[in-house]
Amino acid sequence: MSGHIITCYSYKGGVGRTMAMANMAVLMALRGRRVLCVDWDLEAPGLHLYFQGEKAKVGAGTTGLLDLVEALATDTQTAWKPYVRPVKLDAPGKLDLLCAGFEGEDYVPRLQKLNWEQLYAEKGIGEAVERLREEWTEAYDVVLVDSRTGISDTGGICTIQIPDILVMFFTANDQSFVGSLNLARRVIAARQQIVWPRAALRILPVPSRFEGRVEYDAARHWLQRFATELEPLYGNWLHKDLKPEEILRFTRLPAIPHWGFGERLPILEEDRKDPDTLAFAYESVGVLLEKKLASSLELVGRRPDFVVPRVPQQVDFAFLGNVDDYVRKVVAQLRSDGATVRLWSEVALPGDRTEDASKKIASVAKVIVHNESVGIYQSETVGFSKIQSWKLGKSIVPLFHDRDERDGIVGVNKGTTPPSACAQQLRAIHAREAEKEARSKAAERARQQNVLKLLGGKRRPKPD
């Protein structure tokens, strides 16, 4: 299934839009999703500053979106992947960043030379953006776009042409709120005029830096106003049994002065189960967006269940054991090749034993991969012999450190096999498993046909 694009927009600056987007991107990667962040705020870039710490660090690079747009103006088929930088993050998913560009002395003059009207009319940038949109949604589960504030050419691209979902961040004042509401109305009208086929735009209003614990009466007044005036924006996605004021309780971001200094990621530092934290709010909004604004009733009524990643019915690969950097690179490669991959840590429910979560994901995978390397969580992982004892009838591929086999069991030597080569070996094993499964199904169909012949072409009646 293809991914979806979410634009984060605010009519006024200073509402915490970029911070919220960075934290939600990390959250989605923690939940095992493939995520791309795009800094389309070319006039005031800064998304990359949230990924400078030890827990989330963006790779080195000197190019970005500005460079890509300049290249597309010359050749609309320019590849976008060379402009993307990976974010090193201890997560089962993948997080990439397309920065605005390197802010050297020539950045502002180059930006001022961009004439978007001319690029669309004469250079075919509109079609190039469509190609980017299609390729991004094939390569990633979620694409998050940080848009320019106010009314601008690039803001129009980000709010009208690109997104499946538009997230509007605003604060409790008329400048921010009324401006956002008017913009939403214009976007909805303009969306109906674009030449590219699109489903109806879904809009998620997010009151940000909202003080509701001290100024209780003022907060109640503003929430009621939000619920009344924003009601038309909820019409095409909010569950029919919910009212706007109910979902607003979970989609507002609290004002917490502690996080008002520097570029920080509370999603990595706070307890997401504590409703008084900013991480709790980011998780509520982030998971709702990850699920394409579906299941709003579950968010309001059963949030603990709502935020737990679900196990898909069938996956190509299940990774058990320690999740180290090697495994993350292999998983990233497999996912970039289009394979469905899940790690045991992604499906663990609160209170689950590691073995239960591991067995759950292994049971729906075609190929099981076990990493035996010792890490800080090694004591919590399931051993290879335990996986064998489950007798699932599937290929189990061990990842060894500095050896090719142990006790007669052939695996992958992580010391001599690059992650890309390991991914290639795993795909070959998967292909053999798929071929074996196809032969088994063909044999079963042949057996059933032989039985029918013996019965004279009539199926035996089922017992009562």
Can you spell out the DSSP letters for 309-360? PPPPS-EEEEEEE---HHHHHHHHHHHHTT--EEEGGGSPPTT--HHHHHHH
Cβ neighbours for 123, distance < 8 A, ≥ 6 positions apart: 72, 73, 76
Question: Which parts of 367-418 fold into alpha helices (H)?
Answer: 384-389
In this predicted structure, what is the pLDDT of residue 340?
78
Two structure tokens written together for 296: 């709003």
Portions of the chain given CATH number 3.40.50.261: 315-441
Of 221, 219, 36, the C-alpha closest to 132 is 36
Which residues on neighbouring strands pair with residue 52, listed in sequence order?
A: 57
Whose tokens are 């200073």? That residue is 14
Helical packing angle, 65-74 and 125-139, nearest 10° = 130
Q: Are 312 and 306 in contact (CB under 8 A)?
A: no
CA–CA dist 427, 234 (Å, integer): 43
Q: Whole-angstrom distance between the N-terminal and C-terminal Cα of the chain?
A: 40
Total Cβ atoms within 10 A of residue 118: 11
Residue type, 88: K
Total Cβ atoms within 10 A of residue 193: 7
Q: Where are the beta strands (DSSP E) in 56-172?
A: 56-58, 85-89, 94-98, 142-146, 165-170
In this predicted structure, what is the pLDDT of residue 461?
47
DSSP per position, 139-151: H-SEEEEEPPSSS
Residue 441, burial from CB neighbour count under 10 angstroms (0-12, 13-18, 19+): exposed
Whose tokens are 């209003």? That residue is 205
CA angle 9, 189, 35 (to 5 degrees): 35
Whose tokens are 């070319």? That residue is 42
CA–CA dist 416, 312 (Å, integer): 33
Residue 386, burial from CB neighbour count under 10 angstroms (0-12, 13-18, 19+): middle
CA–CA dist 91, 307 (Å, integer): 16
Which residues on neighbouring strands pair with residue 57, listed in sequence order?
A: 52, 88
Query: How does pLDDT run along the chain (464 residues), one tens digit per residue?
Result: 478 999 999 999 889 999 999 999 999 988 878 899 999 999 899 999 999 988 898 988 889 999 999 999 999 899 999 999 999 887 767 899 999 998 888 999 999 998 988 999 899 999 999 999 999 998 899 999 999 888 877 778 989 999 999 999 999 999 999 999 999 999 999 998 888 888 899 999 999 999 877 787 898 999 999 999 999 999 999 999 999 999 999 999 999 989 989 999 999 999 999 999 999 999 999 999 999 999 899 999 999 989 987 655 577 898 988 888 899 899 888 887 778 788 877 766 555 677 777 887 788 888 989 887 544 334 445 677 778 777 777 888 888 877 777 666 778 898 899 999 999 999 999 998 888 888 888 888 888 888 877 776 554 444 44
Two structure tokens written together for 424: 């290639």
Portions of the chain given CATH number 3.40.50.300: 4-306
Q: Are 300 and 250 in contact (CB under 8 A)?
A: yes
In this predicted structure, what is the pLDDT of residue 351?
56
Query: Which CATH class for the 315-441 domain?
Result: alpha beta
C-alpha 91: how far from chain center: 12
Q: Is the dihedral of CA 294, 4, 36, 260 positive or negative?
A: negative
CA–CA dist 61, 83 (Å, integer): 8
| Diameter over CA atoms, the chain | 85
Strand-strand pairing, 409-410 and 341-343? unpaired
Two structure tokens written together for 271: 């307890």
Residue type, 168: M
- Name the DSSP class of 43: T
Of 240, 210, 203, 238, the C-alpha closest to 225 is 210
Q: Are 177 and 226 in contact (CB under 8 A)?
A: yes
Domain 4-306 carries which CATH code?
A: 3.40.50.300
Q: What is the pTM of this model?
A: 0.72
Of 50, 263, 24, 31, the C-alpha closest to 165 is 24
Contacts within 8 Å (CB) and 24+ apart, 408-413:
409/384
